[in-house]
Structure 1
Amino acid sequence: MTRVLIVDDHAMFRGGVRAELSSEPARAAGVEIVGEAADVDSAVAAVVAHRPDVVLLDVHLPGGGGAEVMRRTGPSGPRFLALSVSDAAEDVIGTIRAGARGYVTKTITGPELVSAIGRVAEGDAVFSPRLAGFVLDAFAGAGLSADIAAVDEDLDRLTEREREVMRLIARGYSYKEVAKELFISVKTVETHMSAVLRKLQLSSRHELTRWANDRRLL
C-alpha cells in the first residue's frame, strides 16, 4: 500500500481529495490515506506520527508554506507531490527546488491523481503537462531560467503573506476580497500591499499587475 498524507488548509478540499482516494479504484491501486493536516506545524507532526510514503502538499499553507514542511521533515522523509491551485512559474520552480518530486494542479482528475501518487511513490517525477516546460527550462539552463532567477531575487524581498497578497491583488482581487480569502482584515491587506509596493519599487496596483504578468506569476 502507498500511505498518503493530505496537507491543505481548506477542509472542503481535503474532504474532496479524501473521497477520491477512498474510492474503490484508488484502493485497488493501493492508496491508503493515513492522515490530514491544515498548516505547517500539524503537517510536520503528521509526517512524524504517520510516516507516509507520499505527502500531497499544498504550496501555500499557514505557518510558512509547503517549502517549510519539506525543510523541516528533511531529505530522508516522505516523497512530496505538490497539489496546488497555482500554476505560476515561481511557485512551481520554488516548490521543486525545495524538494518536491512532482507538481500537479487542482484541476487534475481523481484517476490522474491516483496515478501521480503511484508514480511519485516509485520515484518518478510527475508534472501537469503545462508545468513540465517550466521545470525543464529552469533546470536545463534554457530561456526561462534567467527569468526565474530574477523572479526569485525580487520575491525574496517579500514575506510569505506579502506574496499571497501580491498575487491576489495582481489578479484583480479587491482589498475586501483578499481579506476574505486570506482570513485577515482589510487594514492588514492594506499594510501588506504598501510593503509589497515599497519593496518592489512600484507605485500602484496597475504596475504590480504588469510586473507580475511580465514574470509569469499570474
Structure 2
Amino acid sequence: MNEAGTALRSVRVVVVDDHTIFRSGLKADLDSRIDVVGEAGTVDDAVRVIAEQRPEVVLLDVHLPGGLGGGGREVITKSAPLLGTTSFLALSVSDAAEDVVAVIRAGARGYVTKTISGAEISDAVIRVADGDAVFSPRLAGFVLDAFGTSPAEIADDELDRLSARELEVMRLIARGYSYKEVAKELFISIKTVETHVSAVLRKLQLSSRHELTKWAAERRLL
C-alpha cells in the first residue's frame, strides 16, 4: 500500500533462464511491484509454464537449452497465441546484433543486458507491461537498423512544436533511456523529464513511448 492507502500495481512475471543461481538472484533483486509466478530453465519448460501461468511479462534469456535449439526466440514463437496478453522482455549477457534482432522479430517487446540493476529491470518490466518497447540504450540502434523504414519527410511544423529541450528529451526517450537516465544525461530532475515527455506526447498527438519511438525512427531523428 502507498501513503494514500492505494494498492500498488503488481505485474505477474515468469523468469526464464538456464542458470538457477541467476534466477534466484534476479528474483531477490526485483522490487515489490513484480510478482514472480513461475520460472523455467529450458525452452520446453518455459513454454509449458508460460501457458499455465499466463503472465503479463516474461523475462527471457536468449540462449536456452531444449526444444529445437532456437532458444528464447523459439519460446516466443511457440507462445505466439499469448502475444496479445503476454509480453516478452529479453534479458541476456549477449549484446550481439543478431541476438537482439532475432528475438525482436519473433515478437519480444524489448531487450536489456544483464549488466543493469534490479531496480532498472523492475522498471523495464513495468514499462513493457504498460505497452512500451524497452531497450538498453546501445542496443536500440540495432533495432532501428533492422526495422527502420526509408526516411520520411519531416513536417517542419511538427518539429517546430517542440522546444530545443523537448527535442533532446524526445530523442533520448525514443532511444530507450529511462527517465532517470535522461535526467542524468541532461542534468535535470526526473520530474522535469516527466513534464517534457508529457508535453512532447501531447504536441505530437502520440499516446505512448512506443509510438514516440516509432515516430522518431521513421523520421531518422535518433
Q: Same fold (TM over 0.5)?
A: yes
**Given the alignment of the two structures, is residue 62 of structure 1 paired with residue 65 of structure 2, yes or no?**
yes
Structure 2 stretches lacking a partner, 5+ long: 1-9, 151-222
1:109-140 Cα shifts (integer Å, max 9, x gaps): 11110100000001100000000011112111
Matched residue SS, 1:82 = strand
Which residue of structure 1 aligns with residue 22 of structure 2? 13
Q: How does 1:20-39 map to 2 (within 5 A)?
A: 20-21=29-30, 26-27=31-32, 30-39=33-42
1:12-58 Cα shifts (integer Å, max 9, x gaps): 1111101112xxxx11xx21010110001100110111111100000
Q: Structure 2-normalised TM-score?
A: 0.59
Structure 1 stretches lacking a partner, 5+ long: 143-218
Matched residue SS, 1:55 = strand
Matched residue SS, 1:59 = coil
Among candidates 84, 104, 107, match of residue 92 of structure 2 = 84
Matched residue SS, 2:36 = strand
Please provide the CA RMSD for this pair.
1.2
Letter in 2 for 1:87: D
Among candidates 69, 73, 97, match of residue 105 of structure 2 = 97
**Given the alignment of the two structures, is residue 47 of structure 1 paired with residue 50 of structure 2, yes or no?**
yes
Q: State, as a whole percentage, how many aligned pairs show the same letter.
A: 63
For 2:129 and 2:141, the matched residues in 1 are separated by 22
Matched residue SS, 1:83 = strand
Which residue of structure 1 aligns with residue 12 of structure 2? 3
> 97-106 vs 130-139, which deviates more?
130-139
Structure 1 ranges of 4+ moved more than 3 A: none
Matched residue SS, 1:124 = coil
Alpha-carbon distance, 1:141 to partner? 4.7
Which of the two has greater helix per residue? 1
Among candidates 107, 120, 127, match of residue 112 of structure 1 = 120
Alpha-carbon distance, 1:6 to partner? 0.3
